[in-house]
Amino acid sequence: MDGVFLSALLPPLNALILNRKCMKIGRPARDGFGLLFDEGILFLNARPDSPDLIWSKAVNMTELSSPAWNHHLDGAKVRDIVQPGADRILHICFSSTLLYGNSDVTLIFEATGRNANVILVRNEDKRILACHRKIPSIKSRYRTVAPGQVYVPPPSSGLSPGSWSSSVELKRSIENKKNSPVLLYKMLEGVGPMTARALIRHAEINETSLLKTVAKLETALLEQNFSPWLGPDGPLPIELGVGKPIENPLFMKIAGETKSIREDRLETWSAILRRRLTFLHKRLASLKIALDGLVSPEKYRTWGNLLLSTENNSKKGLREIVLKDWNGFEHTIPLKPSRSLKSNASKFFRKASNTGIERRNLEKHEYDTLDEIKSLEKSLSRAPGLPLDELDALLRNYRKKERNKEEQRKAIGARTLSGGWRCFAGRNARENDEVTFKIGKRDDFWFHARGIPGAHVILKLDGRADNPPEDIILETAVEAARGSGASSGIIPVDYTRVQYVNRMRKGKPGQVVYSREKTVFIDLDRLP
């Protein structure tokens, strides 16, 4: 909804609620506020993707979380309705008699797209009493929106009506850039992309200048002479281009089309379940491809034997080789160019012994994925019959888990080992640098898989005077081996004191040199 169309809603809105009492305020939808009057409900929809203003005869409403809304607005009379300029902001001014005297407040509806908000402000000192969305200072350098703060309106979106026709800058810009929607909605207050396109389209159809079309809209705004019009892109304050007239602009949506809170929760929960199902079906397809692509142990051994029996098996640089077996069958064998034929053969022998483990792991993942898919499909079929409180509980738990995951991703958390020992592991170059040189102290132990890019792991002494026992050394080395990116094989892990680890000269974050190290070997294939 553009600001100029909001201007066209003021005359019918005045006729409906001016000098009338608001019997109750409630919430008909997650991002909506409903003001109950004798003849109907005014619905302020602050949904970021589609904020709008609707008059309805009946909408189910629930209580608001903050008591300030009902305390100041229940029984209050609408004294005035104001739109500052032509922007997407509506001030509904109320006066009410409380136990301790008169209390004049203003309900401010900011229908500003993704920043849409509903704010209750005390007129006496412009303090915010309640708001739909809080805007902390870390999110906006221009203003803070929170209870107790002084209300600061959003910045103007352009030239206000009355200065459009006389603007030399607008005239020059239109002449230079010709018909540009971006130019119009960036320069004219209340004109959004929808109205800008309609102005240009109207000028082209009627073969008039764009400046004259803009002046026509400006005159209608100043004189409050509206003829609401539904164009191809949406509602407009006057007839612009092709479309049809709107008889009742405040009734553009009937009450049945406004979702209840339960319907909104159901839609949100169902969307979460469907997203997870889509992800699991993709994972299942990938697992099946991986299972079908597994090479048998016999074939790996055959490839290894053929490579070992080849002359000059120390040769490197080949990506594949074609060899015949003892029965005359040809085998196209994929190779790693950086390894010799003999080294590739050793790799195939290792894979032959690990193929069974890999198949069992993939089959277990496939079974678990199928089991979760069945559970989610059952939950999705049950969702339409769940009451509001259960849907709320499910959504709260889901959001709590997502927050916890996000916090775990952001923070470098300590991992507790046997006997209360703690270790820290980096997950990227920046975290490796932080783990080694900020979390690690001189006497702590530093671990890293030798010759492989991977995690820096710090074993904290936490004031202990003695060296860690052998089992703790091995347990920490396992964390470093797992953080190396290797999935199988025997990984050598070096460890030394942090005081013997230094940043590499002119190196990137995480690149270090170290000395006085000892080495332990971790067999990843034998780990549980």
Q: How far is CA 432 from CA 141, 305, 446, 508, 511, in A?
A: 33, 41, 11, 11, 9
According to DSSP, residue 145 is labeled B
| 118-168 confidence digits (pLDDT tens) | 999 999 899 999 999 999 888 888 899 999 999 999 988 889 999 998 988
CA distance 222 to 85: 10
CA distance 425 to 433: 10
CA distance 20 to 254: 22
Question: Which regions of 227-288 does DSSP assign to beta strands (E)?
Answer: 229-230, 235-236, 244-245
pTM score? 0.54
CA distance 455 to 412: 12
Closest CA to 482 of 493, 468, 470, 496: 493
CA distance 34 to 390: 24
Residue type, 513: V
What's the pLDDT at 259? 53
| 319-337 confidence digits (pLDDT tens) | 889 998 888 888 999 898 8
Considering only residues 506 and 273, tell me which one the structure prediction assigns the higher pLDDT.
Answer: 273
Burial 125-151 (b: 16+ CB within 10 A, else e): eeebbbbbeebeeeeeeeebbeeebeb
Domain parsing of the chain, residue ranges: 3-131, 168-225, 261-410, 415-526
Residue 453 predicted with pLDDT over 70? yes
In percent, the amount of the chain with pLDDT more than 90 equals 40
Ranges 72-86, 260-274, 275-289, 499-513: which has the least confidence: 260-274
Which token pair is 399?
């959001």
CA distance 377 to 394: 16
241: left (phi over 0), alpha (psi -120 to 50) or beta: left
| 58-105 confidence digits (pLDDT tens) | 667 788 888 889 889 998 999 999 999 899 999 999 987 665 656 799
What's the pLDDT at 59? 67
**Architecture label for domain 3-131:** Roll (2.30)
Q: Using 50, 70 and 90 to split pLDDT, how confident is the model at 370?
A: very high
CA distance 443 to 500: 10
